[in-house]
Structure 1
Amino acid sequence: MSGLGFVFNAALLGGLAMALYVPLMLWINHTQLPRSARPGVLNVIVVAIAAIVYGGFAVYSLWALFFG
């Protein structure tokens, strides 16, 4: 494997990890933190958008890897 291939594989795994990490972080923030420390509405919206984007990239990357 070339150095560039290693970088691409690392980026793919990092994106997949973020696709799992972001929604999990949002769920834990809402279930484990006290009400006074929970994120506000704007923060939740931004994190939800990030979760959708990372999830979309993960699905696209896996689709391209296995079927394209």
Structure 2
Amino acid sequence: MASHEPSDRDRRDPIEARRSWIERRRQKIIDEVARNRRGEYTVPTWVLAAALVLIVGGWLALIFMV
């Protein structure tokens, strides 16, 4: 992620900086919901890794238990 440099106005007014952060966060969520509705949803890597571990673990349990 790229770091966000606060503008001069944000440096002077902490309330405005917070409001600006809230607006950026809100827009990020709106964009993500729109992507998901278009079918661009992706499964997080950690979920895929956990599923792989469970599948391989299940197979190994079957092999060594029999």
Q: TM-score, normalised by structure 1?
A: 0.44
Question: Greater helix share, 1 or 2?
Answer: 1
Q: TM-score, normalised by structure 2?
A: 0.45
> More relative contact order in 1 or in 2 (CA 8 Å, sep 6+)?
1
